[in-house]
Amino acid sequence: MIYGYRSRSFKSSLTACGLIGMITDRDITLRTIGFGIDPRYILVGDCMSQNIYAGHKDDSIGSCMKQMARYQIRRLPILNDENHVVGIISVGDLAWLASAHPGMGTRRAVADLVCAVSAPGPASSH
């Protein structure tokens, strides 16, 4: 089953055991178009990222930001106690949070996160 979230560029693959993969517009671009493959003829499983990092609904925003920076990911699925996806936090969500709460150090924290996520390193897209 494919579960779509509010962003059209994000899809996750779910099983009874929980999240097994994610596919983004970047995955499609790098793993199909980048190799001259027509994405209309490739399966999600052939293109999705399978090493998935996730947060828990009870984690702090700071904890999620640390995980996103550490693994250089722009979107972090959020799971509940049953390992079901209940949401996603994106760098854009955090930028909105920083603009809504000026003076709390969140702008600097988001700027540091964007730098960490954008630094050259292992390819990870979600």
Give the DSSP H or E segment for 9: none
Q: Are residues 71 and 40 both part of a single domain? A: no
Residues 115 and 57 in one domain: yes
What type of residue is 4? G
Residue 17 forms part of a structural domain: yes
- How confident is the model over 51-102, as pLDDT tens digits? 889 999 999 988 999 999 999 888 999 999 988 889 999 988 888 887 777 7
The C-alpha atoms of residue 67 and residue 74 are separated, in whole angstroms, by 10
**Whether residues 70 and 115 fall in one domain:** yes
Instruction: Print the domain residue range for 18.
Output: 1-52
